[in-house]
Chain A
Amino acid sequence: MTHDLLFDFTADKETATIYITREFAADLDLVWDAWTKSEILDQWMAPHPYHLETKEMDFREGGRWLYAMVTPENVRLGWSLAQFLKIVPKSSFTTRNSFSDENGNPNNENFTFSITETIFTANEETTTVRVVKKMQSLEQMQKFVEMGYKAGMTASLQNLDQLLASLAKR
């Protein structure tokens, strides 16, 4: 059952790095596809109630994924860019994540970016994914977490709305 799957989240402030480990109840081929094919990424990478919209996806070393987070009102919350630095098929890939305009041009050289390594390990019946997200500095990490905090709050509130709505129907 899903609630028994391993989930670990730690942050190292000294090195401005976030470590996330999660186990999934599917084989390596499927989990790898879910993290590297935009048609699947679009279905889960944005926290509800947002969704993702992919404009470009070129999954190869030197390629890039250009996407936007979209609100339920269909407002795009800016474009994000993931540049694929290194790919080891069915094992790991490394991206440079930043914000950009709709053509994938970086917004501002000084603006925040992170280097993310995503590592896949096949287990007997599950697949473990480890995400190591390194920011340039502590300040950028704080900014990043603060942005996440706001989105997280919105998502929680939306979930609460749904809960209240379903209770009201009873």
Chain B
Amino acid sequence: MNCEQYYELLTALADNELIAEEQHILDAHLNQCAHCSKLYEVELATKQLLRATLPPLKTPWKIRADIIEKTRIEAGTQTEQRFPFFTHWWKPSFAISGAVAVAAFVFFLLYNTEKTPQQTSEQKVVSYPAKETVTENISVPVATETKQTEKPKPKKKSLPPILNESMTEFDLFLQGKKKPEKLTSQRKELEQYLASRVNFPVRLPEMSDCELIGGIVSQFQNEQVAQVMYSHRGHNVALYQTTFNSFDELNLFFLPESAQTVLKKGNWYIDDSDSNCCIAMWIDKGVLYYAVSNADKQEVHQELFHGFKTINSAK
């Protein structure tokens, strides 16, 4: 055999696809041929260059969820979207309709504030805009002190006062068709409010660059979900807290196995493969925390990590 005949074998050698006999013959040749050894190096370098330039891609979360959902619908094991907010909530149409509805809500609040002089105490303005597509920030005045006049709600530990049985309610929440059950910028107040309505400890991280908007309790199948909305520099951050009887149920979130492994080990799972939003998940003491945001991913991650660190160190 001459060098030209060995040349094709070099490709297979770089791919580790030679049969034993070929390997033996080629090894012997490479030991005495500098020319072919160099060609082999080029072959390896080309493979490495391609791999480095075009690394394998990960399916974005919402694409994965959409596809699984469609097969489930086809199988008849699912009749409606389980987590529609994962796939739709950042869409501009929702964001715009949300902004319009929020504006109507603002008007409603302002109107009521004018009509009730006792509610003229200092109000904190929390920015509650939608996506980048909405150019104007819309401010939602949150009467912090006036909330003190509210009657304390009775504690319910069995089932939460669910707005409805479906998580599609969250879409309505974002569209402004349903206001947050509790509209407040006071962390402790919201924490207590939510804790009284779910049967697991609710923890709201204190995130330095995020303003609290409010919260809501909902239900997914048999699980209670506490949802908290923050605003981060004009973007939404939604933090959910829930429990699962078995972590196998994580499959319900369409999580890839790698993510489930990470979570079961007690680490954060971050999915920012989608250009529109990022999702951060974490399990602590049987409670699953997951945050969805269309804000800057790095900033939100930092905020979350810092917030939860504060909670944990305070315990």
Our verdict on whether A and B bind, yes or no, reads no
